[in-house]
Amino acid sequence: MTGVTPSRLLQSCGFLTGDNLAEGNSPVLLVHGGAWAIPDDMAEAHVNGVRHALAAGWKVLERGGSSLDAVEAAIVVMEDDEAFDAGRGSFLTSDGRVQLDALMMDGATLRAGGVGCVERIRNPIRAARLVLDESPHVYLVAEGAERFARQHGLPLCANEELVIEREVQRLREVHEPVVAERPPEFFAEHDTVGAVALDTRGNLGAATSTGGTLNKTPGRVGDSSLIGCGCYADNESAAVSTTGWGEPIMKLVLAKWAADRVLEGMAPEAAARMAIERLETRLAGHGGIILLDARGRSGLAHNTPRMAWALKNPQGESAGIEWPRG
Ligand code: ASP
């Protein structure tokens, strides 16, 4: 890291704490780069990564683009950034391949598009968007998803192009007998990416993209790309993206659970905290969540040591690797 201490990476965020009501249809964008124990030497890369994603998404929103276009633009930047567990550079399956999952959801119409277990798509969020826009279905997996994406203009790549040496080494370490006996939570180094946006027309969108968990069984799908688990959006409640150990999050259908709290009248910041408390108390799970409602109020919570995030609204921009509890 080039002389930036983690504490300095946590920017001032007075305007972010719970009541950041955007006036009228002021746009808001909140992105995350995963919740885990981000080591000091990777902190700067994570903050830079979420900031670049924020800039890409904000460019869309400030010219009046849709929340879906904004979250897609933000996610593509993080999928292209090897710091994150999404796109190239993702964790490997137990047999050494990259298998990617992604979901996008439109809060205005509840249209959704997801892909699971794709191995030859550099930016699975683009494939998810194609499913949302062009398919009568909501979710496509594996070769069928890849064929669909190619037929709709997305180039395919070789799986090897998505594999990087750092992850080959990481998988090798995990296969060492002394390490292999430890519970999966020990490898809390996973950093899915997500984004939630409110556009100038007042519509919410959400997107989540991941390489899943390290050493996962081939064919495993986690929470990230499942509606209501790792991602959800409804203008009447909230746009949500989660990150963390997927199996407990799936069992609690956590993104929808949190959105329902907002529907009942809870502020997104409180709903985020309550969702993570529930994850911890009910299933001893670990992770993080971001929420945004149609009034522009945002929330974030995590019970992991760190979570990379960045937020922008017309009043300002902020980013960090820990969320300041209000
Ligand atoms: N939730 C993802 C999964 O279990 C991993 C992560 O968020 O880092 O696939």
- Find out whether the beta carbon of 209 lies less than 6 Å from any atom of ligand 1: no
Q: Please give the distance, rounded to the nearest whole angstrom, from the Cα atom of residue 64 to the centre of ligand 1.
A: 31
Q: First vs last Cα of the chain: how many Å apart?
A: 29
Separation in Å, CA 310 to CA 2, 46, 68:
20, 10, 18
- Find out whether the beta carbon of 34 lies less than 6 Å from any atom of ligand 1: yes
Q: Please give the distance, rounded to the nearest whole angstrom, from the Cα atom of residue 23 to the centre of ligand 1.
A: 34
- CA-based max dimension of the chain: 57
Separation in Å, CA 324 to CA 72, 209, 220, 288:
27, 25, 34, 13
Ligand 1, atom 4, residue with closest C-alpha = 246
Ligand 1, atom 9, residue with closest C-alpha = 212
- Find out whether the beta carbon of 192 lies less than 6 Å from any atom of ligand 1: yes
Q: Which atom of ligand 1 is nearest to the CA of 220?
A: 9
Q: Any idea which residue has 């670990």 for tokens?
A: 286
Radius of gyration of the chain (CA): 18
Mutate to test the pocket of ligand 1, among 190, 231, 251 (most ligand atoms within 8 A of CB): 190
Contact 206, 225 (CB under 8 A): no
Contact 135, 111 (CB under 8 A): no
Q: Please give the distance, rounded to the nearest whole angstrom, from the Cα atom of residue 188 to the centre of ligand 1.
A: 10
Residues with Cβ < 8 Å from 66, sequence gap 6 or more?
A: 60, 199, 201, 203, 205
Question: Alpha carbon 312 to chain centroid distance?
Answer: 16
- Find out whether the beta carbon of 288 lies less than 6 Å from any atom of ligand 1: no
Question: Alpha carbon 87 to chain centroid distance?
Answer: 12
- Indicate the pairing of strand 231-233 with strand 112-118: unpaired
Q: Please give the distance, rounded to the nearest whole angstrom, from the Cα atom of residue 68 to the centre of ligand 1.
A: 21
Q: How far apart are CA 50 and CA 40, in angstroms?
A: 16
Contact 73, 198 (CB under 8 A): no
Contact 237, 293 (CB under 8 A): yes
Q: Closest Cα to residue 50, out of 1, 84, 20?
A: 84
Question: In degrees rounded to 5, what are phi and psi of residue 241?
Answer: -140, 135
Q: Which atom of ligand 1 is nearest to the CA of 36?
A: 8
Q: What is the pLDDT of residue 187?
A: 46
- Find out whether the beta carbon of 211 lies less than 6 Å from any atom of ligand 1: no
Paired residues of 282 in beta bridges: none
What token pair was written down for 76?
A: 């593509």
Q: What is the pLDDT of residue 23?
A: 42
- Find out whether the beta carbon of 194 lies less than 6 Å from any atom of ligand 1: no
Element of type H or E holding 42:
helix 40-62
- Find out whether the beta carbon of 246 lies less than 6 Å from any atom of ligand 1: yes
Element of type H or E holding 117:
strand 112-118
Q: How far apart are CA 316 and CA 85, in angstroms?
A: 28
pLDDT tens digit at each of 326 positions of the chain: 333 333 333 333 333 433 443 444 899 999 999 998 888 889 999 999 999 999 999 999 999 999 999 999 999 999 999 999 999 999 999 999 999 999 999 999 999 999 999 999 999 999 999 999 999 999 999 999 999 999 999 999 999 999 999 999 999 998 886 555 555 554 456 589 999 999 999 999 999 999 999 999 999 999 999 999 999 999 999 999 999 999 999 999 999 999 999 999 999 999 999 999 999 999 999 999 999 999 999 999 999 999 999 999 999 999 999 877 65
